[in-house]
Homo-oligomer: A and B are copies of this chain.
Amino acid sequence: MKDNNDMPGHLARRFQQIAVAVFLAEVGEAGFDLTPVQYAALATIKVNPGLDQVTLAGLIAYDRTTITGVVDRLVQKGLAERRASPRDRRARELEITDEGRRTLRKITPAVEAAQRLMLRGLSPKEGEELMRLLRKAIAAGNELSRAPLRNAQA
């Protein structure tokens, strides 16, 4: 029997578990209540103002059915707004609010600290190498999940 520690799937699950815990702890300590998923969505909305939900989902590789709830919570917290698109009445345009911008700014140090903390067992060089290998494996497997990464359209 193969050991769990020889199964990339198990290691992936475990590393993610720690990454989320670290993120929530750091951000919580800074006085904010934002999940990793909500953070990524909000940051992406800020950089791509007016994007629709499908585009947002593609940019951060979320399932489109997951985005609905995530945006719901961002809107409910007053960090983002959802408007009907004038160009396509099916679509909703997303916009960050001033409050969302403030939150992003103040939360950034905690987010960066979390990223460092989840690699604390590795040397800087090893951390870089881990990220490189993850990027490479992800690129090769991108189409294998229901929610692949998609670049923004013009």
Q: Do most interface residues of chain A lie in helix, strand or loop, or is the interface mixed?
A: helix
Cβ of A85: which chain B residues have Cβ within 8 Å of it?
Answer: none
Cβ of A19: which chain B residues have Cβ within 8 Å of it?
Answer: 8-9, 12-13
Cβ of A84: which chain B residues have Cβ within 8 Å of it?
Answer: none
Contact with B along A39-58 (1 / 0, CB 8 A): 01001100100000000000
- Kindly report which residue of chain B lies nearest to residue A10, judged by CB atoms: B40
Task: Indicate whether A114 reaches chain B with its CB closer than 8 angstroms.
Answer: yes
Cβ of A121: which chain B residues have Cβ within 8 Å of it?
Answer: 136-141
Binding site for B on A (CB under 8 A): 1-2, 4-23, 25, 36-37, 40, 43-44, 47, 60-61, 112, 114-115, 117-122, 126-127, 129-131, 133-142, 144-147, 149
Apart from A8-B131, A118-B144, list 17 A-B contacts with CB within 8 A: A8-B19, A8-B134, A9-B115, A11-B135, A12-B16, A13-B36, A17-B147, A18-B144, A21-B146, A120-B141, A121-B136, A121-B137, A121-B139, A122-B137, A129-B133, A130-B130, A130-B134
